[in-house]
Chains A and B, each alone.
Chain A
Amino acid sequence: MADAYKNFTVDTDVVTDRTIVSSGIFSSGAGSLTAFYTASTQGASSASFLNVYDKVQTDSTREVQFACGYANYGGSGSIGNTTKTVAGNRETAGMYRQFANVLLPPYTDKFTFNSFSSASEDIFFIVMNRARMREKMDPGNWELALTATKKMRLIDDSGATTTPTVNEAGRVFNIVSGSIASGTADTFRTAAAGGALGNFYPDLGIIILDAAHLQTTASVTTTRSTNTFDDTPSQLFKQIAAGAYFAARREEEVTSTMYFCRATNKEFNFSNNPTFATKSGNTEGVFTQTTFEGAPKTYMTQVGLYNSKSELLAVAKLSKPVLKSFSREAVIKVKLDF
Protein backbone atom coordinates (compact mmCIF):
# COMPACT_ATOMS: atom_id res chain seq x y z
CA MET A 1 0.00 0.00 0.00
CA ALA A 2 1.32 3.39 -0.97
CA ASP A 3 1.71 6.01 1.71
CA ALA A 4 3.10 9.51 1.56
CA TYR A 5 2.43 10.32 5.23
CA LYS A 6 3.53 8.72 8.48
CA ASN A 7 1.67 9.28 11.74
CA PHE A 8 3.55 10.34 14.85
CA THR A 9 3.42 8.20 17.95
CA VAL A 10 2.90 10.92 20.56
CA ASP A 11 4.67 9.07 23.38
CA THR A 12 7.89 8.49 21.49
CA ASP A 13 8.01 10.98 18.62
CA VAL A 14 6.81 14.27 20.12
CA VAL A 15 8.63 16.09 22.91
CA THR A 16 7.84 19.56 24.29
CA ASP A 17 10.58 21.59 25.89
CA ARG A 18 10.79 25.04 27.49
CA THR A 19 13.98 27.07 27.26
CA ILE A 20 14.91 30.44 28.71
CA VAL A 21 16.64 32.52 26.05
CA SER A 22 18.43 35.73 27.03
CA SER A 23 19.91 38.37 24.76
CA GLY A 24 20.83 42.03 24.66
CA ILE A 25 17.77 44.17 25.20
CA PHE A 26 18.52 47.01 22.81
CA SER A 27 17.99 47.17 19.06
CA SER A 28 19.72 44.45 17.05
CA GLY A 29 20.32 42.52 20.27
CA ALA A 30 22.89 45.01 21.55
CA GLY A 31 23.70 44.45 25.20
CA SER A 32 24.48 48.07 26.00
CA LEU A 33 23.92 51.62 24.84
CA THR A 34 26.47 54.40 25.20
CA ALA A 35 24.69 57.19 23.33
CA PHE A 36 21.13 58.38 23.95
CA TYR A 37 18.85 60.65 21.94
CA THR A 38 15.36 62.08 22.29
CA ALA A 39 12.95 63.72 19.88
CA SER A 40 13.51 67.47 20.12
CA THR A 41 9.80 68.26 20.08
CA GLN A 42 9.09 66.02 23.04
CA GLY A 43 8.87 67.25 26.59
CA ALA A 44 6.33 70.04 26.46
CA SER A 45 3.84 67.77 24.72
CA SER A 46 4.41 64.63 26.76
CA ALA A 47 5.25 66.56 29.95
CA SER A 48 5.93 63.53 32.10
CA PHE A 49 8.17 61.34 29.94
CA LEU A 50 10.67 61.28 27.08
CA ASN A 51 11.20 58.48 24.61
CA VAL A 52 14.87 57.61 24.35
CA TYR A 53 16.30 56.46 21.02
CA ASP A 54 19.51 54.73 20.01
CA LYS A 55 20.27 57.02 17.07
CA VAL A 56 19.97 60.66 16.10
CA GLN A 57 16.66 62.11 15.01
CA THR A 58 17.62 62.25 11.34
CA ASP A 59 18.40 58.54 11.19
CA SER A 60 15.31 56.74 9.85
CA THR A 61 16.43 53.43 11.37
CA ARG A 62 16.38 54.68 14.94
CA GLU A 63 14.06 52.96 17.39
CA VAL A 64 12.67 53.76 20.82
CA GLN A 65 14.70 51.89 23.43
CA PHE A 66 13.00 53.03 26.60
CA ALA A 67 11.13 55.96 28.10
CA CYS A 68 12.29 57.93 31.11
CA GLY A 69 10.19 60.36 33.06
CA TYR A 70 8.98 61.93 36.25
CA ALA A 71 5.80 61.37 38.27
CA ASN A 72 4.49 63.31 41.23
CA TYR A 73 1.64 62.30 43.52
CA GLY A 74 0.28 65.86 43.71
CA GLY A 75 0.95 66.78 40.09
CA SER A 76 3.88 69.12 40.75
CA GLY A 77 6.06 69.76 37.74
CA SER A 78 3.13 69.79 35.33
CA ILE A 79 0.45 72.30 34.53
CA GLY A 80 -2.93 71.99 36.21
CA ASN A 81 -4.00 71.88 39.84
CA THR A 82 -6.18 69.71 41.98
CA THR A 83 -9.43 71.54 41.35
CA LYS A 84 -9.41 72.18 37.63
CA THR A 85 -7.82 70.71 34.55
CA VAL A 86 -8.77 73.32 31.97
CA ALA A 87 -5.30 74.83 32.01
CA GLY A 88 -3.37 71.55 32.02
CA ASN A 89 -3.54 67.81 32.34
CA ARG A 90 -1.49 67.22 35.50
CA GLU A 91 0.51 64.59 33.65
CA THR A 92 2.88 63.89 36.53
CA ALA A 93 -0.04 63.11 38.85
CA GLY A 94 -1.70 60.90 36.29
CA MET A 95 1.53 59.02 35.77
CA TYR A 96 2.20 58.55 39.50
CA ARG A 97 -1.29 57.10 40.07
CA GLN A 98 -0.89 54.83 37.05
CA PHE A 99 2.37 53.36 38.35
CA ALA A 100 0.88 53.02 41.84
CA ASN A 101 -2.12 51.16 40.51
CA VAL A 102 -0.04 48.86 38.34
CA LEU A 103 2.90 48.19 40.64
CA LEU A 104 1.63 48.47 44.22
CA PRO A 105 -0.80 46.29 46.18
CA PRO A 106 -4.43 47.46 46.39
CA TYR A 107 -5.08 50.36 48.78
CA THR A 108 -1.43 51.40 48.65
CA ASP A 109 -1.21 54.69 46.81
CA LYS A 110 2.40 55.73 47.39
CA PHE A 111 5.80 54.14 46.84
CA THR A 112 7.96 53.40 49.85
CA PHE A 113 11.61 52.53 49.38
CA ASN A 114 13.80 50.70 51.83
CA SER A 115 15.99 53.76 52.36
CA PHE A 116 13.18 55.73 53.91
CA SER A 117 10.33 54.77 56.19
CA SER A 118 8.05 57.46 54.79
CA ALA A 119 6.36 57.21 51.42
CA SER A 120 7.93 58.95 48.45
CA GLU A 121 5.58 61.33 46.67
CA ASP A 122 7.68 61.74 43.56
CA ILE A 123 9.55 59.23 41.48
CA PHE A 124 11.58 58.93 38.31
CA PHE A 125 10.81 56.00 36.10
CA ILE A 126 12.43 54.10 33.24
CA VAL A 127 10.12 51.90 31.17
CA MET A 128 11.66 49.57 28.60
CA ASN A 129 10.04 49.52 25.17
CA ARG A 130 7.98 46.36 24.87
CA ALA A 131 9.42 45.39 21.50
CA ARG A 132 12.92 45.62 23.00
CA MET A 133 12.02 43.79 26.19
CA ARG A 134 9.77 41.16 24.57
CA GLU A 135 8.91 39.23 27.74
CA LYS A 136 10.92 40.45 30.70
CA MET A 137 14.21 42.00 31.79
CA ASP A 138 16.92 39.78 33.13
CA PRO A 139 17.48 40.51 36.85
CA GLY A 140 21.08 40.88 37.88
CA ASN A 141 22.18 41.72 34.37
CA TRP A 142 21.56 45.43 34.00
CA GLU A 143 23.56 48.49 34.97
CA LEU A 144 22.76 52.16 34.42
CA ALA A 145 25.33 54.91 34.89
CA LEU A 146 24.27 58.46 35.81
CA THR A 147 26.25 61.73 35.70
CA ALA A 148 29.29 62.49 33.58
CA THR A 149 31.69 61.03 36.12
CA LYS A 150 29.52 57.92 36.46
CA LYS A 151 29.23 58.90 40.08
CA MET A 152 26.10 56.81 40.38
CA ARG A 153 25.91 53.28 38.96
CA LEU A 154 22.65 51.47 39.45
CA ILE A 155 22.04 47.71 39.57
CA ASP A 156 19.48 45.50 41.28
CA ASP A 157 20.15 43.38 44.34
CA SER A 158 18.84 40.11 42.86
CA GLY A 159 22.25 38.53 43.38
CA ALA A 160 21.96 39.07 47.12
CA THR A 161 18.58 37.41 47.58
CA THR A 162 17.25 33.97 46.77
CA THR A 163 13.66 34.80 47.73
CA PRO A 164 12.66 38.01 45.95
CA THR A 165 9.56 39.87 46.98
CA VAL A 166 6.64 39.02 44.74
CA ASN A 167 3.59 41.25 44.58
CA GLU A 168 0.89 42.11 42.06
CA ALA A 169 3.54 43.31 39.62
CA GLY A 170 5.57 40.09 39.82
CA ARG A 171 9.07 40.00 41.26
CA VAL A 172 10.39 43.15 42.92
CA PHE A 173 14.06 43.87 43.63
CA ASN A 174 15.74 46.80 45.30
CA ILE A 175 17.84 49.08 43.17
CA VAL A 176 21.21 49.71 44.74
CA SER A 177 24.46 51.34 43.73
CA GLY A 178 26.90 48.88 42.25
CA SER A 179 28.39 47.46 39.10
CA ILE A 180 28.18 44.30 37.01
CA ALA A 181 31.23 45.18 34.94
CA SER A 182 33.21 42.29 36.41
CA GLY A 183 30.53 39.81 35.36
CA THR A 184 29.08 39.43 38.83
CA ALA A 185 27.22 42.07 40.83
CA ASP A 186 29.52 44.24 42.93
CA THR A 187 27.24 46.13 45.33
CA PHE A 188 28.68 49.32 46.74
CA ARG A 189 25.92 49.89 49.27
CA THR A 190 23.16 47.43 50.10
CA ALA A 191 19.48 48.23 50.49
CA ALA A 192 19.64 47.18 54.12
CA ALA A 193 22.24 49.87 54.77
CA GLY A 194 19.89 52.56 53.47
CA GLY A 195 21.11 52.22 49.91
CA ALA A 196 17.85 51.38 48.14
CA LEU A 197 17.42 53.92 45.38
CA GLY A 198 14.24 52.45 44.01
CA ASN A 199 12.46 49.31 42.88
CA PHE A 200 13.01 47.12 39.86
CA TYR A 201 10.16 45.12 38.31
CA PRO A 202 11.83 42.70 35.86
CA ASP A 203 8.60 41.06 34.71
CA LEU A 204 7.28 44.43 33.55
CA GLY A 205 10.56 46.04 32.50
CA ILE A 206 10.04 49.00 34.83
CA ILE A 207 12.61 50.77 36.97
CA ILE A 208 11.23 53.14 39.63
CA LEU A 209 13.72 55.53 41.22
CA ASP A 210 13.26 57.65 44.31
CA ALA A 211 13.41 61.27 43.10
CA ALA A 212 14.59 62.67 46.44
CA HIS A 213 17.42 60.17 46.61
CA LEU A 214 18.51 60.82 43.03
CA GLN A 215 18.51 64.56 43.61
CA THR A 216 21.10 64.25 46.36
CA THR A 217 23.20 61.42 44.95
CA ALA A 218 23.07 61.89 41.19
CA SER A 219 22.41 65.59 40.67
CA VAL A 220 19.01 65.03 39.06
CA THR A 221 17.33 68.39 39.57
CA THR A 222 13.74 68.16 40.79
CA THR A 223 12.03 71.53 41.24
CA ARG A 224 8.43 70.38 41.99
CA SER A 225 6.77 73.64 40.98
CA THR A 226 3.02 74.00 41.39
CA ASN A 227 0.97 74.38 38.21
CA THR A 228 4.16 74.74 36.16
CA PHE A 229 5.80 72.62 33.48
CA ASP A 230 9.23 71.93 34.94
CA ASP A 231 10.47 69.62 32.20
CA THR A 232 11.77 67.32 34.95
CA PRO A 233 12.01 64.24 32.67
CA SER A 234 14.80 65.94 30.76
CA GLN A 235 16.77 66.27 34.01
CA LEU A 236 16.92 62.49 34.31
CA PHE A 237 17.63 62.13 30.60
CA LYS A 238 20.58 64.54 30.87
CA GLN A 239 22.18 62.42 33.58
CA ILE A 240 21.55 59.19 31.64
CA ALA A 241 23.12 60.72 28.54
CA ALA A 242 26.03 62.02 30.60
CA GLY A 243 26.56 58.62 32.22
CA ALA A 244 26.69 57.14 28.70
CA TYR A 245 26.25 53.54 29.77
CA PHE A 246 23.12 51.42 30.04
CA ALA A 247 23.62 47.67 29.81
CA ALA A 248 20.69 45.26 30.06
CA ARG A 249 19.48 41.87 28.91
CA ARG A 250 16.06 40.52 28.18
CA GLU A 251 14.68 37.08 28.91
CA GLU A 252 12.24 35.09 26.88
CA GLU A 253 10.77 31.70 27.54
CA VAL A 254 10.60 29.74 24.30
CA THR A 255 8.39 26.68 24.14
CA SER A 256 9.65 24.24 21.56
CA THR A 257 8.10 21.07 20.34
CA MET A 258 10.43 18.51 18.84
CA TYR A 259 9.05 16.05 16.33
CA PHE A 260 11.18 13.00 15.67
CA CYS A 261 10.50 12.04 12.08
CA ARG A 262 11.67 8.45 11.70
CA ALA A 263 12.06 7.13 8.20
CA THR A 264 12.76 3.41 8.53
CA ASN A 265 14.55 1.44 5.86
CA LYS A 266 11.38 0.44 4.02
CA GLU A 267 9.82 3.89 4.00
CA PHE A 268 10.06 6.91 1.69
CA ASN A 269 12.23 5.20 -0.92
CA PHE A 270 10.21 6.35 -3.93
CA SER A 271 9.45 9.86 -5.12
CA ASN A 272 6.73 11.74 -6.95
CA ASN A 273 9.39 14.06 -8.31
CA PRO A 274 8.83 14.45 -12.09
CA THR A 275 12.48 13.63 -12.73
CA PHE A 276 12.20 10.34 -10.83
CA ALA A 277 10.03 8.65 -13.47
CA THR A 278 9.35 9.15 -17.14
CA LYS A 279 6.41 11.30 -18.06
CA SER A 280 4.73 10.02 -21.21
CA GLY A 281 4.27 7.20 -23.64
CA ASN A 282 4.35 3.47 -22.94
CA THR A 283 7.05 3.96 -20.34
CA GLU A 284 5.07 6.47 -18.27
CA GLY A 285 5.90 5.96 -14.62
CA VAL A 286 9.07 3.95 -15.27
CA PHE A 287 12.16 5.10 -13.35
CA THR A 288 14.42 7.49 -15.23
CA GLN A 289 17.40 5.75 -13.66
CA THR A 290 17.39 2.04 -14.47
CA THR A 291 19.59 1.38 -11.43
CA PHE A 292 16.64 2.39 -9.23
CA GLU A 293 14.70 -0.77 -10.17
CA GLY A 294 14.87 -3.00 -7.14
CA ALA A 295 17.12 -0.51 -5.36
CA PRO A 296 15.41 2.87 -5.46
CA LYS A 297 17.11 5.88 -3.95
CA THR A 298 15.62 9.21 -2.98
CA TYR A 299 16.97 12.42 -1.49
CA MET A 300 15.20 14.10 1.41
CA THR A 301 15.28 17.89 1.39
CA GLN A 302 12.04 18.88 3.15
CA VAL A 303 10.00 17.70 6.09
CA GLY A 304 6.36 18.73 6.31
CA LEU A 305 4.25 18.61 9.46
CA TYR A 306 0.53 18.03 8.86
CA ASN A 307 -2.71 17.85 10.78
CA SER A 308 -5.19 15.02 10.39
CA LYS A 309 -6.80 16.82 7.43
CA SER A 310 -3.43 16.73 5.61
CA GLU A 311 -3.10 20.51 5.87
CA LEU A 312 0.55 21.54 5.84
CA LEU A 313 1.15 23.42 9.12
CA ALA A 314 4.92 23.75 9.18
CA VAL A 315 7.85 22.92 7.00
CA ALA A 316 11.55 22.39 7.64
CA LYS A 317 14.38 22.17 5.18
CA LEU A 318 17.56 20.19 5.42
CA SER A 319 20.78 22.07 4.73
CA LYS A 320 21.66 19.58 2.01
CA PRO A 321 19.97 16.57 0.43
CA VAL A 322 20.16 13.37 2.47
CA LEU A 323 20.14 10.01 0.72
CA LYS A 324 17.41 7.51 1.58
CA SER A 325 17.24 3.92 0.37
CA PHE A 326 16.19 0.45 1.51
CA SER A 327 19.57 0.13 3.23
CA ARG A 328 19.39 3.45 5.06
CA GLU A 329 17.30 4.86 7.87
CA ALA A 330 17.03 8.45 9.02
CA VAL A 331 15.83 10.31 12.08
CA ILE A 332 15.14 13.97 11.53
CA LYS A 333 14.43 16.06 14.61
CA VAL A 334 12.18 18.94 13.59
CA LYS A 335 12.04 21.78 16.11
CA LEU A 336 9.05 24.09 16.15
CA ASP A 337 9.29 27.19 18.39
CA PHE A 338 6.30 29.06 19.77
Chain B
Amino acid sequence: MGFLDNTSITVDAILTKKGRELLARGDGSFNVTKFSLADDEIDYNLWDTAHPNGSNYYGAVIENMPVLEAFTDQNQVMRYKLITLNKNTTRMPILYLSLQNTELTYGGPEVPIAAQSTNAGDTSFTFELNDTDVAYIIPVVNGTAVLTGAAQTKQDDERTAVVVSPKEIRLQAKQLRVGKSARLTVIGNQTGVTKSITLTTLADPNF
Protein backbone atom coordinates (compact mmCIF):
# COMPACT_ATOMS: atom_id res chain seq x y z
CA MET B 1 0.00 0.00 0.00
CA GLY B 2 1.34 3.43 -0.88
CA PHE B 3 0.39 6.93 0.04
CA LEU B 4 -0.68 9.63 -2.35
CA ASP B 5 1.54 12.67 -2.56
CA ASN B 6 -0.51 15.63 -1.36
CA THR B 7 2.30 18.10 -0.97
CA SER B 8 2.78 21.29 -2.91
CA ILE B 9 6.08 22.35 -4.42
CA THR B 10 7.92 24.78 -2.16
CA VAL B 11 10.54 27.13 -3.55
CA ASP B 12 12.48 30.09 -2.13
CA ALA B 13 12.26 33.36 -3.99
CA ILE B 14 14.99 35.96 -4.33
CA LEU B 15 14.44 39.66 -4.84
CA THR B 16 15.27 41.07 -8.22
CA LYS B 17 17.24 44.28 -8.54
CA LYS B 18 13.96 46.06 -9.17
CA GLY B 19 12.44 44.42 -6.11
CA ARG B 20 15.32 45.57 -3.91
CA GLU B 21 15.04 49.06 -5.32
CA LEU B 22 11.32 49.28 -4.59
CA LEU B 23 11.74 47.71 -1.14
CA ALA B 24 14.42 50.28 -0.27
CA ARG B 25 12.17 53.09 -1.46
CA GLY B 26 9.72 52.18 1.30
CA ASP B 27 6.76 53.91 -0.33
CA GLY B 28 4.55 50.86 -0.63
CA SER B 29 5.48 50.12 -4.22
CA PHE B 30 6.85 46.75 -3.10
CA ASN B 31 3.48 45.05 -3.02
CA VAL B 32 3.12 41.65 -4.61
CA THR B 33 -0.28 41.37 -6.23
CA LYS B 34 0.09 38.73 -8.93
CA PHE B 35 2.29 35.99 -10.28
CA SER B 36 3.34 34.54 -13.56
CA LEU B 37 5.04 31.33 -14.67
CA ALA B 38 7.80 30.98 -17.23
CA ASP B 39 9.87 28.35 -18.99
CA ASP B 40 12.98 30.20 -20.24
CA GLU B 41 15.18 27.08 -20.01
CA ILE B 42 12.98 24.73 -21.99
CA ASP B 43 13.54 23.70 -25.60
CA TYR B 44 10.28 22.10 -26.71
CA ASN B 45 12.10 20.49 -29.64
CA LEU B 46 13.31 17.98 -27.02
CA TRP B 47 9.70 16.72 -26.72
CA ASP B 48 10.32 13.31 -28.31
CA THR B 49 7.22 11.70 -29.76
CA ALA B 50 9.37 8.87 -31.09
CA HIS B 51 10.59 7.79 -27.68
CA PRO B 52 10.76 3.95 -27.66
CA ASN B 53 9.17 3.74 -24.19
CA GLY B 54 6.02 5.53 -25.29
CA SER B 55 4.08 8.67 -24.51
CA ASN B 56 4.94 8.78 -20.81
CA TYR B 57 8.54 9.39 -21.83
CA TYR B 58 8.04 12.07 -24.49
CA GLY B 59 9.23 14.73 -22.05
CA ALA B 60 11.83 12.64 -20.24
CA VAL B 61 14.79 14.72 -21.40
CA ILE B 62 13.13 17.96 -20.34
CA GLU B 63 11.88 16.63 -17.02
CA ASN B 64 15.29 15.35 -15.99
CA MET B 65 17.10 18.56 -16.81
CA PRO B 66 18.63 20.40 -13.86
CA VAL B 67 17.67 24.08 -13.86
CA LEU B 68 20.03 27.02 -13.38
CA GLU B 69 19.63 29.14 -10.27
CA ALA B 70 17.68 32.37 -10.57
CA PHE B 71 19.31 35.61 -11.75
CA THR B 72 18.58 38.86 -9.97
CA ASP B 73 18.37 40.91 -13.17
CA GLN B 74 14.66 41.19 -13.89
CA ASN B 75 15.44 41.49 -17.60
CA GLN B 76 17.14 38.10 -17.67
CA VAL B 77 14.39 36.02 -16.05
CA MET B 78 10.71 35.41 -16.77
CA ARG B 79 11.28 36.16 -20.44
CA TYR B 80 9.07 33.43 -21.87
CA LYS B 81 5.87 33.44 -19.88
CA LEU B 82 3.28 30.70 -19.82
CA ILE B 83 -0.12 32.00 -20.78
CA THR B 84 -3.73 31.03 -20.48
CA LEU B 85 -5.52 30.56 -23.78
CA ASN B 86 -8.54 28.63 -24.99
CA LYS B 87 -7.93 24.94 -25.43
CA ASN B 88 -8.70 25.07 -29.15
CA THR B 89 -6.00 27.70 -29.81
CA THR B 90 -3.95 26.72 -32.83
CA ARG B 91 -1.58 29.65 -33.14
CA MET B 92 0.45 31.43 -30.49
CA PRO B 93 0.47 35.23 -30.16
CA ILE B 94 3.21 36.94 -32.15
CA LEU B 95 4.63 40.34 -31.30
CA TYR B 96 5.69 42.70 -34.06
CA LEU B 97 7.73 45.83 -33.49
CA SER B 98 7.95 48.64 -36.01
CA LEU B 99 11.66 48.97 -35.33
CA GLN B 100 14.53 46.55 -35.01
CA ASN B 101 18.01 47.19 -33.53
CA THR B 102 18.67 50.87 -34.08
CA GLU B 103 21.02 53.77 -33.47
CA LEU B 104 19.97 57.04 -31.84
CA THR B 105 21.58 60.44 -32.20
CA TYR B 106 21.51 63.14 -29.55
CA GLY B 107 19.59 66.15 -30.84
CA GLY B 108 18.06 64.11 -33.64
CA PRO B 109 14.33 63.43 -34.09
CA GLU B 110 12.48 61.27 -31.58
CA VAL B 111 12.34 57.67 -32.77
CA PRO B 112 8.89 56.01 -32.62
CA ILE B 113 8.40 52.32 -31.83
CA ALA B 114 4.98 50.74 -32.23
CA ALA B 115 4.04 47.28 -30.97
CA GLN B 116 1.32 44.98 -32.22
CA SER B 117 0.48 41.41 -31.32
CA THR B 118 -1.55 38.95 -33.36
CA ASN B 119 -3.49 35.74 -32.71
CA ALA B 120 -4.70 36.87 -29.27
CA GLY B 121 -4.17 40.58 -28.99
CA ASP B 122 -2.85 42.86 -26.30
CA THR B 123 -4.57 46.07 -25.25
CA SER B 124 -1.38 47.53 -23.81
CA PHE B 125 2.35 46.93 -23.81
CA THR B 126 5.14 47.46 -21.29
CA PHE B 127 8.30 49.01 -22.68
CA GLU B 128 11.32 48.50 -20.44
CA LEU B 129 14.74 50.02 -21.07
CA ASN B 130 17.44 48.33 -19.02
CA ASP B 131 19.84 51.29 -18.97
CA THR B 132 18.52 54.83 -18.61
CA ASP B 133 21.90 56.32 -19.58
CA VAL B 134 21.06 55.68 -23.22
CA ALA B 135 17.70 57.32 -23.87
CA TYR B 136 14.42 58.59 -22.51
CA ILE B 137 11.24 56.62 -23.14
CA ILE B 138 8.38 58.95 -24.00
CA PRO B 139 4.86 57.53 -23.69
CA VAL B 140 2.45 58.30 -26.53
CA VAL B 141 -1.16 58.83 -25.50
CA ASN B 142 -3.79 59.57 -28.15
CA GLY B 143 -1.06 60.28 -30.67
CA THR B 144 0.70 62.82 -28.44
CA ALA B 145 4.12 62.16 -26.96
CA VAL B 146 4.58 63.77 -23.56
CA LEU B 147 7.46 63.36 -21.13
CA THR B 148 6.53 65.23 -17.96
CA GLY B 149 9.20 66.73 -15.75
CA ALA B 150 8.44 64.20 -13.02
CA ALA B 151 8.67 61.27 -15.44
CA GLN B 152 11.97 62.59 -16.80
CA THR B 153 13.42 62.95 -13.30
CA LYS B 154 12.28 59.40 -12.47
CA GLN B 155 14.01 58.05 -15.57
CA ASP B 156 17.17 59.96 -14.65
CA ASP B 157 17.16 58.60 -11.10
CA GLU B 158 16.38 54.96 -11.77
CA ARG B 159 18.58 52.42 -13.50
CA THR B 160 15.76 51.07 -15.63
CA ALA B 161 12.83 52.87 -17.19
CA VAL B 162 9.38 51.33 -17.57
CA VAL B 163 6.51 52.80 -19.53
CA VAL B 164 3.11 51.22 -20.17
CA SER B 165 1.48 52.35 -23.38
CA PRO B 166 -1.49 51.22 -25.50
CA LYS B 167 0.71 50.81 -28.53
CA GLU B 168 3.53 53.24 -29.09
CA ILE B 169 6.44 55.03 -27.44
CA ARG B 170 9.14 57.34 -28.68
CA LEU B 171 12.82 57.31 -27.85
CA GLN B 172 14.93 60.39 -27.30
CA ALA B 173 18.71 59.93 -27.20
CA LYS B 174 20.68 61.25 -24.26
CA GLN B 175 23.89 63.18 -24.70
CA LEU B 176 26.84 60.84 -24.29
CA ARG B 177 30.59 61.36 -24.53
CA VAL B 178 31.04 57.66 -25.34
CA GLY B 179 28.47 55.68 -27.30
CA LYS B 180 26.46 53.14 -25.32
CA SER B 181 23.94 50.35 -25.98
CA ALA B 182 20.96 49.11 -24.00
CA ARG B 183 18.16 46.56 -24.41
CA LEU B 184 14.59 47.64 -24.90
CA THR B 185 12.17 44.86 -23.97
CA VAL B 186 8.54 45.03 -25.05
CA ILE B 187 6.00 42.83 -23.27
CA GLY B 188 2.37 42.33 -24.18
CA ASN B 189 0.49 42.89 -20.96
CA GLN B 190 -2.16 40.26 -21.65
CA THR B 191 -0.34 37.60 -23.63
CA GLY B 192 3.07 38.07 -22.01
CA VAL B 193 4.63 37.83 -25.45
CA THR B 194 8.07 39.42 -25.35
CA LYS B 195 10.56 40.83 -27.79
CA SER B 196 13.83 42.71 -27.24
CA ILE B 197 15.87 45.00 -29.47
CA THR B 198 19.20 46.76 -28.97
CA LEU B 199 19.37 50.54 -28.90
CA THR B 200 22.68 52.32 -29.38
CA THR B 201 23.09 55.99 -28.68
CA LEU B 202 26.03 57.39 -30.61
CA ALA B 203 28.65 59.56 -28.97
CA ASP B 204 28.02 63.29 -29.35
CA PRO B 205 31.22 64.87 -30.77
CA ASN B 206 30.16 68.23 -29.32
CA PHE B 207 29.88 66.93 -25.76
Contact = CB atoms under 8 A, between A and B. Distances in A.
Chain B contact surface mostly? loop
A19 interface: no
B171 interface: no
A67 interface: no
Contact of B31 (A268, A298, A307, A331): A307
Interface string A93-105: 0000000000000
Nearest to B64: A320
Interface residues of A, number: 73
Contact of B87 (A266, A277, A314): A266
B32 A306 contact: yes
Contacts of A326: 87
B150 to A, nearest CB: 16
Interface in A1-17: 1-8, 14
A170 B68 CA distance: 44
A334 B35 contact: yes
Contact of B45 (A257, A275, A332): A275
A293 interface: yes
B82 A4 contact: yes
Interface in A286-306: 286-289, 291, 293-294, 296-306
B22 A289 contact: no
A285 B119 contact: yes
Chain A contact surface mostly? strand
A304 B36 contact: yes
Contacts of B119: 285
Contact of A8 (B9, B23, B34, B192): B34
A130 interface: no
Interface string A126-156: 0000000000000000000000000000000
A321 interface: yes
A316 interface: yes
Contacts of A331: 8-9
Interface string B99-136: 00000000000000000001111100010000000000
B198 to A, nearest CB: 17
Contacts of A224: none
A180 B47 CA distance: 59
Contact of B80 (A271, A285, A306, A319): A271
A2 B34 contact: no
A270 B29 CA distance: 30
Contacts of A317: 11, 67-70
B83 A260 contact: no
Interface in B172-194: 187-194
B92 A302 contact: no
B33 A7 contact: yes
Interface in B7-22: 8-16, 18-19, 22
A313 interface: yes
A284 B41 contact: no
A48 B41 CA distance: 58
Contacts of A14: 32
Contacts of B162: 309, 311
A61 interface: no
Contact of B41 (A261, A301, A305): A301
Contact of A321 (B19, B67, B121, B191): B67
- The 8 A-B pairs of least Cβ separation, nearest first, read A4-B192, A313-B19, A285-B91, A316-B13, A268-B82, A277-B92, A331-B8, A2-B120
20 contacts: A4-B84, A4-B190, A269-B82, A269-B85, A270-B82, A270-B83, A272-B191, A273-B40, A285-B94, A298-B42, A301-B67, A305-B19, A307-B30, A307-B33, A311-B22, A314-B16, A314-B19, A320-B64, A331-B8, A336-B32
Given A275-B45, A304-B37, A321-B67, 4 more contacts: A5-B34, A304-B78, A310-B126, A321-B62
